[in-house]
Each structure stands twice: as C-alpha cells, then as structure tokens.
Amino acid sequence: MTTPRFDIPEMVANQASAEVTFNEGLARLESFHSAEVLDRDLTAAPGSPSDGDTYIVAASATGTWASHDGKRATYANGWLYTSPR
C-alpha cells in the first residue's frame, strides 16, 4: 500500500525488512523537497547520476526511463519516479 497523494510506501504489521520501505519513503519525501530540476529535455537517464539529482522525463523516454514520460525522476541509489502534483 502507498499513501494516496504522494505514493509513499506504507509499512504493514510484522513486515520483514521494514527499513527498506521506510528508507524509500524518506527518499521520496526528500525528492519532493528538491526544487532544482537539472534537465527536462532528456529522454534517457544520464550515465553517472549523483544521489539527489532530479530530472523531468521527456516524452518518448527510453531505457530505464521508458514509460515514465512527464514524471520527476530523482536518483537515490536507483531511480524514484513521482508524478507532478
């Protein structure tokens, strides 16, 4: 389950590895705080992103970003995608 507005993963009772869910939630919250978008015209993820780098995925995205057109992509040991609000 996720929260209805920001799609933050929720923990459930007796969940194994709850820290994974919690850490993903923190990363998503931090990505919302990031006001700086590095680029909004890329259709493919950059080769060496740094943690916290945020992009708006351009239309017709490929590779890792495929099917995430128009979403915010924030790198945090992997890509997190959020829909603009």
Phi-psi region of 33 (alpha: psi -120 to 50; beta: other; left: phi over 0): alpha
pLDDT at position 29: 77
Task: Give CA separation, 20 vs 15, 27, 30, 59, in Å.
Answer: 10, 11, 15, 30
pLDDT at position 49: 95
pLDDT at position 5: 67
CB contact burial 36-69 (16+ within 10 A = b; e otherwise): eebeeeeeebeeebeeebbbbbeeebeeebeebe
Is pTM beyond 0.85? Reply is: no
Q: Which residue has the higher pLDDT, 5 or 42?
A: 42
pLDDT in tens, 16-71: 888 777 888 877 777 776 668 999 999 999 999 998 899 999 999 999 999 999 99
Reduced DSSP (H G I as helix, E B as strand, rest coil) percent helix, strand, coil of the chain, to 5: 20, 15, 60
